[in-house]
């Protein structure tokens, strides 16, 4: 599959934190999503994540005293009723029983939220905050889950994850997008956030890191370097796959060249196990 004739480096005018993370993780994944724009089938896990994010957003529309577990469950059910009517979510479940089991598991996941913080003590400064900033070489655009202001006036960025937390030694790359958001917050509010938090509802785990100006200066330089790398990849039509443990969750694994079977007539049979191991 080749790039369309109209594609050129100049077409990369904006970049989101998630797409920057895609390219950093795997250039081929970036191409599948941003250049080829291939459709992705929504999974049960993605549906749970979307519904949980919307339910938690609506929870904070309520007065503090009404932010209860039962109310969050009701909000999740309301959100799912809306989502299941959207064509992208149609046919996600084969039977009513499958959908019911998914719903019960989902309620169990969002129940873990209350083990991580007390929503009656939280007053988000912003929720689902749309942010666009011009770095000169590239515009950065994204939507931030939640921005809080602590009693000491410091800002904290929180992102919800409905999956289980990875081992702590693997968690740092997950903060990449949040660091970009912290950089955007610094530009918008002229204040450096003090902390980034990843809230994993699936395992009742919170990972957090401190932020300083040196970190955000480095992220800005890295974004500009990524921008150049992406434009070069577009110009050369060169998006090599970068296999990792995350490939197991990739929607495009079946068409990724990293997992394509080599031609039988040109590849010795004894080489196949080696290629397979390298791909994984």
Residue 265 is predicted with a pLDDT of 45
Residue 71 in this model has a pLDDT that exceeds 70 = yes
Residue 271 is predicted with a pLDDT of 37
Q: What is the pTM of this model?
A: 0.84
DSSP secondary structure letter of residue 122: -
Domain positions in the chain: 44-116, 122-130+141-224, 244-280
Residues 6+ apart with CB under 8 A from 275: 262, 267
Residue 8 is predicted with a pLDDT of 43
Residue 59 is predicted with a pLDDT of 97
| Each residue's pLDDT tens digit, 142-190 | 999 999 999 999 999 999 999 999 888 778 888 999 999 999 999 999 9
Scanning the structure block, which residue is given the tokens 């599948």? 32
Q: Looking at domain 122-130+141-224, which CATH architecture does it have?
A: 3-Layer(aba) Sandwich (3.40)
* Residue 263 pLDDT class (50, 70, 90 cuts): very low
51-65, 181-195, 243-257, 260-274: range with lowest mean pLDDT: 260-274
Residue 191 is predicted with a pLDDT of 96
Tokens representing residue 253 in the block: 């694994």
């Amino acid at each position: 599959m080749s790039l369309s004739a109209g594609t050129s480096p100049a077409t990369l005018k904006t970049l989101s934190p998630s797409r920057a993370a895609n390219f950093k993780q795997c250039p081929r994944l970036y191409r599948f999503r941003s250049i080829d724009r291939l459709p992705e089938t929504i999974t049960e896990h993605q549906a749970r994540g979307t519904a949980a994010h919307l339910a938690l957003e609506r929870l904070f529309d309520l007065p503090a005293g009404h932010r209860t577990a039962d109310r969050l469950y009701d909000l999740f059910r309301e959100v799912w009723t809306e989502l299941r009517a959207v064509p992208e979510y149609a046919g996600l479940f084969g039977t009513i029983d499958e959908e019911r089991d998914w719903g019960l598991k989902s309620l169990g996941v969002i129940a873990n939220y209350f083990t991580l913080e007390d929503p009656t003590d939280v007053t988000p400064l912003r929720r689902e905050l749309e942010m666009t900033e011009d770095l000169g070489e590239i515009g950065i655009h994204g939507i931030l889950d939640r921005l809080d202001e602590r009693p000491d006036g410091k800002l904290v960025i929180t992102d919800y994850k409905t999956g289980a937390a990875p081992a702590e030694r693997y968690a740092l790359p997950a903060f990449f997008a949040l660091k970009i958001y912290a950089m955007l917050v610094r530009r918008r509010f002229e204040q450096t956030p003090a902390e980034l938090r990843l809230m994993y509802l699936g395992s009742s785990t919170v990972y957090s890191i401190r932020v300083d100006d040196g970190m955000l200066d480095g992220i800005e330089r890295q974004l500009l370097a990524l921008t150049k790398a992406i434009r070069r990849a577009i110009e050369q039509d060169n998006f090599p796959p970068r296999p990792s443990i995350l490939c197991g969750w990739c929607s495009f694994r079946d068409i990724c060249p990293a997992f394509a079977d080599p031609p039988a007539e040109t590849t010795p049979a004894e080489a196949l196990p080696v290629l397979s191991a390298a791909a994984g």
